[in-house]
Structure 1
Amino acid sequence: MRIQPRQQILDIWSAMMSTCWDGHEWSWDGIVDRNSISDSEQLLCLLYPATEINSFALANPARIEGDVGAALAPLGIEEPIPSAVVSLLERYLRQNTREDGQPDFSAGSYLSSGDPAKEPTKAQREIEVVDAYSMSLTLCMSGLRFVRAYEIGVKSESTRQRIKSITNGLSARLTAAMTGLMRSFIVKKVSPKSPEGQVMIGMLNRTGEPEKMVVSGIARSLEHVRSRLRSDIKLDDVTVEALDDENMLFECGWSWGTVRGAAPVDFIEESIAHKPGIADPRPYLYFTVIALDGINDLMSQRTGELALLDEKQHRLAQALRTRWELTQTYWSTVARFGSGAWPLEDIPWRTTDGEQSDYFSLIVSAVLIQDLVAGTASDDDLTRAVAIFDELAGRGRIIRRPLSGDPAIALHTPGVRLTLKGTERVDNGPILQWEASDFAAVLLKRMLQAARLSNNITARAKLLELAKLTMDHLAARRIHTGPARGLWDDPAGIFSSDEADRVGQPSWYMTERVIECLVAAERTFRESAPNWPELQTVARLLVNTAEHRYHQEMLNVSADNVPDALEHVEEHIDQGEGQIREDAATAIVRAIDALRELDKVATGRRDAARSG
């Protein structure tokens, strides 16, 4: 299936109108009851394309493109589409603000009990997780971009007051989300002799080196990260002492929520900056990548251009950027550690708590690709990553047929279950779990990002081929009946023939991730095609051939009587020669045009000679 981001986003928007909008009220529920995260995901399905892709912009009603307006037509029956989006933002802020006026980031129905005999308590449903902070960060940035653009054409004072209120609400929520991410970051010391240290050494030691040499090699590879963690980030004394000792290992990243013992953020007054954390003080790979993605949206060029952040938010953004850089460098380094086969190539990846899964390999690959996007990894690294994506697509039963009872199905449904250690401390409830079921969407997004950057024609072709196959897989998982037709996620479309397993309600968790993939695809396709070295070679050969034949034909004419056709040939050759380094494909077209004209001239000359 071809990936056609414009049409596929419009199809999702049309499906959202059928599912969420009855003409008067917007429905926020899906396959599970609404919560702060699903609300962010649902609204991002609309706002993320609208603020990331110019042709989907909704802020100016006079400039909404025809097919975009048609897809959202039901939303614009009672009021203009931009005004309806403003109403949705108002509702979002109301239902995700606590009675005391503080932003609500509770995970609610996304949390499940790890004990089948116990349900999560009410207090546990209010637990906040990194996913809520990250999704809110992205939603607030999108919302602020939208209202900033919408405000330009607004004359009504009452509407301006609404916009001001929304801007203040989104800004307050953004500050809280950034603060939550700050306090969820963790650097964990790991003793080489501990069970965690032994798992790490075993994972990174692909050549059977003595343990002491491996620890020393890890220390050398991570010296820059270690040094910046000590100097640029506020850490507790125990962690600083551990980082000073090169015989100690360490991990960095984001836990599932605000870490137990996290230091307060002293320049933020909101309660989230000071209340005690409960999350286990160790990085979780899933939540680390979720945090990295959110912070990446915060650092986009458009954020600076629009001056969306206030002074405190700038301080938070700089602190988060430092953590983003160091975390990416850390995981990219350990993924490629050593001189032989990468640890990442030894699928599945094993975390220091002893868990292993193909999903963890995918998550580490995602960090590696983001590192390539940031410009710190090489194209050779990308070429090696292609083989990893290919292997994961096969193991994840995306490009291979699943068998009956295939354990790989669990990667997609119910997903990889992550135990949120520390949740059992809340209200004497059961330990809670998080289900990560976005394997296919994560794979697709990272392959599209990689393809946008690749200068290797074989690697790019393979990535785009795998992306099409992954889109086939995801297309088969769309809901096919009922009002939610065209949204996600119905895994039974791939993994079950039993009609009882079919799903009719949307998963905003999965639908939003498909939207992210389509936005990534639009960015990839919007870029100019790579100017392959091989293509430049062909272009140069054709231009040189055309130029040589042009000179041959010029031998047959006088300088003061050059035919118009040959003057056109000269123009094509000059244009082609000038485009070889920048746009070899167009240079080839120019050369072919020149050769075609030259063939006509030569044919005419031969015909004239025969008739004479």
Structure 2
Amino acid sequence: MQIQPRQQLLDIWRATARVSYHDGEWFPGGRSGSNSISDAEQLLCIMAPATEIPLFRLDRPDAVANDVLDTLRAVGDNLQIPQRLLRALSRYIERYTDRDGTPLFSGNSYFSLDEGKDGDGATEIKAEIKQEQLDLDVVDSFSISVTLMLATIGFTKIFRQVVTRPTLLKQVEALERAANVRLSAAMAGLLRSFAVNVFTADSVPGRELLRTVNQERRPTHQVVDELREALREINARLRDDVTIGSGAAEGSELDNPNRLFECGWSWGVVREAPEIETTAAIGEQRTGVAQNAPYLYFTTVAMDAIQALSSERTRLLGLLDTEQARLAQSLQLRFELTRSYWAAIATFGSGRWPLEDLPWRTTDGIEFDYFSLLVGGIVIQNMQAVRASTTELRRVSEVLEELANRSRITRRSTEPETAIAVHYPGLHFPLEGSENIGSSRLAWTVADIAPTLFRRSLTLASMVDDGVIRGRLLDLADAIWDHLQDRVLREGDDHGLWDRPAGAYKYLPDEARDVSWYYTKRVVDCLVVAARLINDPPLRSGLLTQIAADLLNEADHLYDRELLNGTTTRGETLRVELDRIGTELRRARAVRREQPGVAVAVTEEVLRKLDRLSAARQADSGVT
């Protein structure tokens, strides 16, 4: 793999510090202005590596690496950096907390108008976004707040251990309390944004779902019966186990054996979502307006956040209190059901998978390659939970390769080409229900197919035991990284960050000058995954393991023969040499299972040394 995550993350940190810090203060804002999501993305460009990669940690001033200190010189020294980060995090939470203490999770400047239609389906002549719409809570903000607050709480728990000044300790404790409030509120928001859409097989959503899963074009009634059987356990758990938050009210409809369904996260708090009964002080739980149906994009970002709630770091540091653990358990149930549902749909049948039928088509009739990538990501998450076969992993890897080609990341683009729209200006999809509090419907824009594909390729590579498949995935990751490198801002104050689509597609308008924290944060996430992949033990080859065992058997035998023939009595130099050989043999045995290639290399060198000793002994004494 050509990617060097340490150096590349340091370069991003240097640019982020240069752009964000002025006179010791953190200044939020970027291409999309300041909002609860973009500001969190900006902070996570620093906080994510600092809390997820040990070599980048900033919470112990005496343990900060020298190259990290040099990179963050614009922020301060090893004592100032954590304090100024704490101040920036505190101001973020204050900025997005209402006067009554209620955390705010609005999309604000990330919202746009759904061009072309108003709430009644008529063509719009003139429209504007009302402030009430800009203030709507959105799942993206809930999700990124979970990620940022977990990073913040973990950071404070470790940093407070080295704090001695009472005033600073009070600031750390105050930040931790505020972060816990925002974390609890974000978790409650996710519980109220979960959607279960129930429909009949002959409805429009039903026909679209059956079209997707029926890859073998079998009789509809047969496919319906098999699909219901495949989803039977998920149906039962949705009906019986989902008892708090949104999604619980649909239990009675799921009792009907003639219904199909889909589940996941809507774009915001769904209509008529009940309030969460909790002892946590989360403030007002606002009325929801979002459509009670899952959106693939918001489903995937919510699932990524929920994974962080159950991560090893969260458990080891004890980042959740008792009430948060209860909420996390409810979210984990929804995560598992959603993951199982989409994996079952995507791999349904005995022939070609629906996932392999590009592009993915949703139940409202919209189809994009980007949706195939999102569903593929959920399938990969499911494969991490259930041991997938090499064949299944290979099939998903081939889908990722094809998506990279179709989206013109690894294949040359010709001008003009509709495939480029996924990169610029991005995919726009309507936020159904937002028109209920305004004259126009809102829309959401996504343009992160390249970093998302990069991340999924690295994740899948970490799961594969087959060297050929893993090599292809790493080659794909390298190719995507080359594409991302082309899109780095090269000029202006924000150089070294992302995103400049015209760098990869020369015929696009070269208008980008300001940093997109939306895009840069996703690149940082990819590099964090790459660092984890590199830190994992290398791929173990069964063939190399057997070769290492055979070589060790021969080396042990020859070594014992040298000892038996009295080589150690023929001088101090030979005795020292045999001692070294014995040490190397022990090293080879120790690493044989985890690093068979190293064991082979060490043992081959041992065999060469033993052969030289044997040849010298034969020449000297004639002993064979």
Within a 5 Å distance, the mapping from 1:223-262 to structure 2 comes to 223-234=232-243, 239-262=250-273
Q: Within the alignment, does 1:346 sit opposite 2:386 as a pair?
A: no
Between 1:409-418 and 1:538-547, the stretch displaced more is 538-547
Task: Please list the CA deviations of residues 296-342 of structure 1 after superposition, one character each: whole Å capped at 9, or x if unmatched.
Answer: 11111222222222222111111001111111111111111111111
Residue of structure 1 aligned with 2:601, choices 550, 572, 589: 589
In structure 2, C-alpha distance between the alignment counterparts of 1:516 and 1:216, rounded to whole Å: 41
Kept in 2, the 8 Å contact 1:112–1:432? The answer is: yes
In structure 2, C-alpha distance between the alignment counterparts of 1:78 and 1:599, rounded to whole Å: 54
What secondary structure, in the 3-state scheme, does the structure 2 residue paired with 1:74 have? Answer: coil
Residue of structure 1 aligned with 2:517, choices 502, 508, 511: 508
In structure 1, C-alpha distance between the alignment counterparts of 2:590 and 2:54, rounded to whole Å: 31
Kept in 1, the 8 Å contact 2:271–2:288? The answer is: yes
Deviation at 1:544, TM superposition (A): 3.8
Between 1:76-85 and 1:133-142, the stretch displaced more is 76-85
Kept in 2, the 8 Å contact 1:106–1:127? The answer is: yes
Q: Within the alignment, does 1:304 sit opposite 2:318 as a pair?
A: no
Q: 1:77 to 1:429 in 2, by over 3 A?
A: farther
Kept in 2, the 8 Å contact 1:124–1:429? The answer is: no
The alignment's C-alpha RMSD in Å is 2.2
Give the letter aligned to residue 447 of structure 1.
S
In structure 1, C-alpha distance between the alignment counterparts of 2:561 and 2:77, rounded to whole Å: 68
Residue of structure 1 aligned with 2:161, choices 152, 155, 175: 152
State the match for 1:100 in structure 2: 100
| Identity value in percent | 38
Residue of structure 2 aligned with 1:396, choices 401, 404, 407: 407
Q: Within the alignment, does 1:2 sit opposite 2:11 as a pair?
A: no
Deviation at 1:547, TM superposition (A): 4.5
Q: Within the alignment, does 1:480 sit opposite 2:490 as a pair?
A: yes
Q: Within the alignment, does 1:200 sit opposite 2:212 as a pair?
A: no
Q: 1:579 to 1:82 in 2, by over 3 A?
A: closer
Deviation at 1:271, TM superposition (A): 6.9
Task: Please list the CA deviations of residues 245-270 of structure 1 after superposition, one character each: whole Å capped at 9, or x if unmatched.
Answer: 33321101000110112122122576
Deviation at 1:605, TM superposition (A): 4.0
In structure 2, C-alpha distance between the alignment counterparts of 1:602 and 1:78, rounded to whole Å: 57
Give the letter aligned to residue 152 of structure 1.
Q
Give the letter aligned to residue 543 of structure 2.
E
Kept in 2, the 8 Å contact 1:179–1:272? The answer is: no
Give the letter aligned to residue 485 of structure 1.
H
Deviation at 1:472, TM superposition (A): 0.5
In structure 2, C-alpha distance between the alignment counterparts of 1:407 and 1:535, rounded to whole Å: 47
Kept in 1, the 8 Å contact 2:59–2:159? The answer is: yes
Deviation at 1:566, TM superposition (A): 5.3
What secondary structure, in the 3-state scheme, does the structure 2 residue paired with 1:332 have? Answer: helix
In structure 2, C-alpha distance between the alignment counterparts of 1:170 and 1:181, rounded to whole Å: 16
Residue of structure 2 aligned with 1:282, choices 290, 293, 296: 293
Q: 1:36 to 1:382 in 2, by over 3 A?
A: same
Q: Within the alignment, does 1:599 sit opposite 2:604 as a pair?
A: no
Task: Please list the CA deviations of residues 553-586 of structure 1 after superposition, one character each: whole Å capped at 9, or x if unmatched.
Answer: 679x359858635565455445534543333122
In structure 2, C-alpha distance between the alignment counterparts of 1:118 and 1:419, rounded to whole Å: 15
In structure 1, C-alpha distance between the alignment counterparts of 2:581 and 2:77, rounded to whole Å: 57
In structure 2, C-alpha distance between the alignment counterparts of 1:237 and 1:299, rounded to whole Å: 23
What secondary structure, in the 3-state scheme, does the structure 2 residue paired with 1:115 have? Answer: strand
What secondary structure, in the 3-state scheme, does the structure 2 residue paired with 1:249 have? Answer: strand
Q: 1:236 to 1:56 in 2, by over 3 A?
A: closer
Kept in 2, the 8 Å contact 1:266–1:273? The answer is: no
State the match for 2:592 in structure 1: 580
Residue of structure 2 aligned with 1:333, choices 322, 344, 352: 344
State the match for 2:464 in structure 1: 454
What secondary structure, in the 3-state scheme, does the structure 2 residue paired with 1:433 have? Answer: strand
In structure 2, C-alpha distance between the alignment counterparts of 1:544 and 1:18, rounded to whole Å: 58
Residue of structure 1 aligned with 2:448, choices 438, 441, 459: 438
State the match for 2:121 in structure 1: none
Kindly tell me the number of residue pairs found equivalent between the two proteins.
Answer: 607
State the match for 2:181 in structure 1: 172
State the match for 2:539 in structure 1: 530
In structure 2, C-alpha distance between the alignment counterparts of 1:550 and 1:148, rounded to whole Å: 53
Between 1:304-313 and 1:415-424, the stretch displaced more is 304-313
Kept in 1, the 8 Å contact 2:184–2:282? The answer is: no
State the match for 2:439 in structure 1: 429
Task: Please list the CA deviations of residues 368-413 of structure 1 after superposition, one character each: whole Å capped at 9, or x if unmatched.
Answer: 1112223453443212111111101111111111110111111111
Give the structure-2-normalised TM-score: 0.93
Kept in 2, the 8 Å contact 1:261–1:276? The answer is: yes
Give the structure-1-normalised TM-score: 0.94
Task: Please list the CA deviations of residues 217-246 of structure 1 after superposition, one character each: whole Å capped at 9, or x if unmatched.
Answer: 111212221121122102778622332233
Q: 1:345 to 1:77 in 2, by over 3 A?
A: same
Task: Please list the CA deviations of residues 481-524 of structure 1 after superposition, one character each: whole Å capped at 9, or x if unmatched.
Answer: 111111111111011256x5241100010111111101111111
Give the letter aligned to residue 410 of structure 1.
A
State the match for 2:123 in structure 1: none
Kept in 1, the 8 Å contact 2:196–2:247? The answer is: no
Residue of structure 1 aligned with 2:502, choices 473, 489, 492: 492
State the match for 1:357 in structure 2: 368
Within a 5 Å distance, the mapping from 1:538-577 to structure 2 comes to 538-547=547-556, 557=565, 561=569, 564=575, 565=577, 568-569=580-581, 572-573=584-585, 575-577=587-589
What secondary structure, in the 3-state scheme, does the structure 2 residue paired with 1:189 have? Answer: strand
State the match for 2:120 in structure 1: none
What secondary structure, in the 3-state scheme, does the structure 2 residue paired with 1:75 have? Answer: coil
In structure 2, C-alpha distance between the alignment counterparts of 1:512 and 1:52, rounded to whole Å: 14
Between 1:214-223 and 1:236-245, the stretch displaced more is 236-245
Q: 1:276 to 1:300 in 2, by over 3 A?
A: same
Deviation at 1:415, TM superposition (A): 1.3
Within a 5 Å distance, the mapping from 1:31-70 to structure 2 comes to 31-70=31-70
What secondary structure, in the 3-state scheme, does the structure 1 residue paired with 2:465 have? Answer: coil
Kept in 2, the 8 Å contact 1:200–1:352? The answer is: yes
Unaligned runs of 5+ in 2: 117-125
Unaligned runs of 5+ in 1: none
Q: Within the alignment, does 1:212 sit opposite 2:221 as a pair?
A: yes
What secondary structure, in the 3-state scheme, does the structure 2 residue paired with 1:187 have? Answer: strand
What secondary structure, in the 3-state scheme, does the structure 2 residue paired with 1:114 have? Answer: strand
Between 1:295-304 and 1:276-285, the stretch displaced more is 295-304
State the match for 2:381 in structure 1: 370
Q: 1:544 to 1:446 in 2, by over 3 A?
A: same
